[in-house]
Amino acid sequence: MRLEPSRAGALATVALHGVVLAALLSYAPARSAILSAAPIMVDWIVPATPTPKVEPRPEPPKPKPVKVVPKPVEAPPVAVLPAEAPSQMVVPEPPPPAPAEPVAAAPTLVAVTPPIFNADYLDNPSPVYPVLSRRMREQGRVVLRVLVNTRGAADEVQINNSSGHVRLDDSARETVKRWKFIPAKRGAEAVPAWVLVPVSFRLEG
């Protein structure tokens, strides 16, 4: 029996595909076995240590240029000569005389009468002669300076000249302090004034 050409080609194609498939099936396990037996190589990559970053050192500042100021040169002193005096001298005129001031009239001087202490009517007691001074034969003359006020009393009694004995001086001063005086007068007016009062101490026999 003869097949038609188209059917014969189809059968041939199917047969060819079957052969190829069988070959593939027989080859696949062998390749798989080979592939599974091959070792796997793994490379470990170690990260490199980072290099520390070195910062650049700052450059030192450049020195500033120093200005050299030249010292001032001292000029030699200049001698100053006095100018020649002019041949003609100018004499200033004298100032006009000042007007004469009127002379004040001199005040009329009124004499001052000193205080009086030895009038009989004043009845002033004599100083007491100290007993010890008499025993020791002490004698002398004391002069007292007395300030008499306008009422005729002694405001102050000072020793002007000492007798040389303290007991005699003290006795005279204490007595004269109680004396009464006629005050000094300028005209009819009583004024305070100083007067000297002498007191003598003498032993008889």
Give the angle subtended at the CA of 150 by the CAs of 145 and 151, to the nearest 5°: 100
Paired tokens of 95 = 């100032």
112-201 is classed CATH 3.30.2420.10: yes
CA atoms within 13 A of residue 74's CA, in its CB half-sphere:
2
pLDDT above 60 for 80: no
Q: How many CB atoms lie within 10 A of CB 97?
A: 6
The two three-digit tokens of residue 41, written as one number: 């190589």
pLDDT of residue 197: 95
Q: Are 124 and 180 in contact (CB under 8 A)?
A: yes
Q: What is the pLDDT of residues 168-203, one digit of tens each?
A: 999 999 999 999 999 999 988 999 999 999 999 999
Residue 102: both structure tokens together: 């009127």
Q: What is the pLDDT of residue 120?
A: 80
**pLDDT(165) > 50:** yes
- pTM score: 0.47
* Mean pLDDT for the stretch of residues 76-104: 46
Which residue's structure tokens are 């002007």? 160
pLDDT at residue 8, as a whole number: 56
Q: By the 8 A CB rule, do 197 and 146 touch? A: yes
Please list, in sequence order, all residues whose beta carbon lies within 8 angstroms of the beta carbon of residue 138, skipping any fewer than 6 positions away.
Answer: 130, 165, 167, 168, 201
Q: Classify 9 as helix, strand or coil.
A: helix
**If we measure between CA atoms, which residue out of 134, 203, 140, 204 comes closest to residue 172?**
140
> Per residue in 152-163, pLDDT tens?
999 999 999 999
* Closest among 171, 191, 173 to 183, alpha carbons compared: 191
Tell me what percent of the residues of the chain surpass a pLDDT of 70.
Answer: 47
d(CA 143, CA 137) in angstroms, rounded, equals 20
Q: Which residues are registered as beta bridge partners of 186?
A: 112, 189
End-to-end CA distance of the chain: 229
The mean pLDDT value for 34-51 works out to: 45
Average pLDDT estimate for 43-47? 44
CB 155 within 8 A of CB 181: no
